[in-house]
């Protein structure tokens, strides 16, 4: 996990919805896939954890800048998470996500909103993450 992600987690002290541990686990899962992680904080709005394929220099993910995005969304009732993938790169057999037209860098997305502890969501998202990584790898082949 990068120092800026660790610092963000350390500064996150109020967690009434108890989603901070899940965000930390998602960050670890993304890093475990070999992703290059970037945290983009828009104070008072969101903190976006962007996972791109690691590689030599710009454009290493091919035509798409990333394969997954985990947003921490600021809300008066407590932060919640929205984890998004390109819709054509993941399956959603349990229909736990929502289709978001043009929701990820102007392309259709599949987003999973999490507003509280859910013991089944992390394994489910780990499968989606693996699918997204595989789809990106297929697109990079000549």
Q: What tokens were used for 112? A: 């999973």
Predicted model pTM: 0.90
pLDDT tens across 80-109, in order? 999 999 999 999 999 999 999 999 999 999
C-alpha dist (Å) from residue 6 to 15, 17, 50, 139:
16, 20, 15, 32
Give the rounded distance of the alpha carbon of 27 from its chain centre: 8
pLDDT tens across 37-90, in order? 999 999 999 999 999 976 543 444 457 889 999 999 999 999 999 999 999 999
Q: What tokens were used for 16? A: 């009434």
Q: Where are the domains of the chain?
A: 3-140
What 8-state DSSP symbol labels residue 55? -
């Amino acid at each position: 996990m990068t120092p800026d992600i660790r610092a963000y987690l350390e500064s996150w002290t109020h967690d009434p919805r108890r989603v901070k541990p899940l965000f930390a686990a998602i960050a670890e899962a993304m890093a475990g896939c070999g992703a290059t992680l970037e945290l983009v904080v828009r104070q008072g709005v969101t903190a976006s954890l962007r996972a791109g394929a690691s590689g030599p220099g710009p454009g290493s993910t091919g035509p798409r800048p990333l394969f997954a995005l985990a947003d921490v969304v600021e809300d008066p009732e407590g932060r919640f998470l929205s984890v998004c993938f390109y819709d054509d790169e993941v399956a959603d057999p349990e229909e736990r996500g929502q289709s978001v037209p043009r929701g990820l860098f102007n392309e259709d997305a599949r987003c999973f909103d999490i507003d509280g502890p859910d013991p089944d969501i992390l394994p489910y998202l780990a499968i989606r993450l693996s699918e997204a990584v595989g789809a990106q790898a297929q697109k990079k082949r000549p």
